[in-house]
C-alpha cells in the first residue's frame, strides 16, 4: 500500500489485522494493490460520518480493503479495462484517477489512486 509518510504507513497497516485481510496482501503473488491515498481515505471516512481513526471499526472495512487487491500483476502500460478484485468486485480501471503507477513491492505492484473503491 502506498504511504504518504511514517504516520500514514503505521495507520494504514493497522487496518489489516483489524479486518483479518492480511492474508490477501501477504500472499506470494503476484498481486496488484490499488492503494487509495490519504486524502481519499479522509474523504471516504467523512462520507461515512467517521474520523479516519474510526474507520478501523467500520463494519464494511474488510470489503473496502478487498476492493483494492487484485490477484495478478497489472502494470499501467498493459492495464486491462476491468480488473476483478479479491472481493469479487469488477472495477473499471480507466475510471480510476492514478497518482503514481507501478510501484514495485516484494509480491507485486502498487497502483496509487485518488479514490476509495466502494
The residues, ordered by sequence, that sit 6+ positions from 38 with a Cβ below 8 Å of its Cβ are 4, 8
Rounded Cα distance between 78 and 86, Å, is 20
Please give the model's pTM, rounded to 2 decimal places.
0.79
Looking at residue 23, its pLDDT comes to 59
- 8 Å CB contact between 73 and 79: no
**In this model, does residue 18 exceed pLDDT 80?**
no
Rounded Cα distance between 48 and 55, Å, is 9
Q: What does the block give as the cell for 74?
A: 497489472
Q: What does the block give as the cell for 20?
A: 483479518
Mind listing the pLDDT tens digit for each residue in 54-100?
887 888 888 888 898 899 999 999 999 999 998 999 999 999 999 99
Higher pLDDT, 51 or 13: 51
pLDDT band at residue 110 using 50, 70 and 90 as cut-offs? confident
Helix (H) or strand (E) holding 23: helix 22-26
> 57: cis peptide before it, omega within 30°?
no
Distances (CA, A) of 91 to 46, 84, 87, 111: 23, 6, 11, 13
- 8 Å CB contact between 74 and 32: yes
Q: What class has domain 6-18+30-113?
A: mainly beta
Specify the 3-state DSSP secondary structure of 32: strand
Higher pLDDT, 58 or 23: 58
Query: Where are the domains positioned within the chain?
Result: 6-18+30-113
Looking at residue 76, its pLDDT comes to 95
Specify the 3-state DSSP secondary structure of 61: helix
Looking at residue 97, its pLDDT comes to 94
Q: Which of 16-30, 35-49, 60-74 is predicted least confidently?
A: 16-30
Amino acid at each position: 500500500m502506498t504511504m504518504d509518510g511514517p504516520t500514514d504507513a503505521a495507520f494504514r497497516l493497522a487496518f489489516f489485522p483489524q479486518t483479518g485481510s492480511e492474508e490477501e496482501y501477504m500472499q506470494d503473488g503476484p498481486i496488484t494493490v490499488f492503494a487509495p491515498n490519504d486524502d481519499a481515505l479522509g474523504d471516504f471516512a467523512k462520507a461515512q460520518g467517521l474520523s479516519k481513526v474510526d474507520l478501523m471499526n467500520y463494519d464494511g472495512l474488510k470489503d473496502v480493503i478487498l476492493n483494492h487487491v487484485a490477484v495478478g500483476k497489472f502494470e499501467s502500460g498493459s492495464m486491462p479495462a476491468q480488473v476483478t478484485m479479491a472481493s469479487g468486485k469488477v472495477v473499471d480501471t480507466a475510471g480510476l484517477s492514478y497518482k503514481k503507477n507501478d510501484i514495485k513491492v516484494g509480491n507485486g505492484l502498487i497502483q496509487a489512486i485518488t479514490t476509495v473503491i466502494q
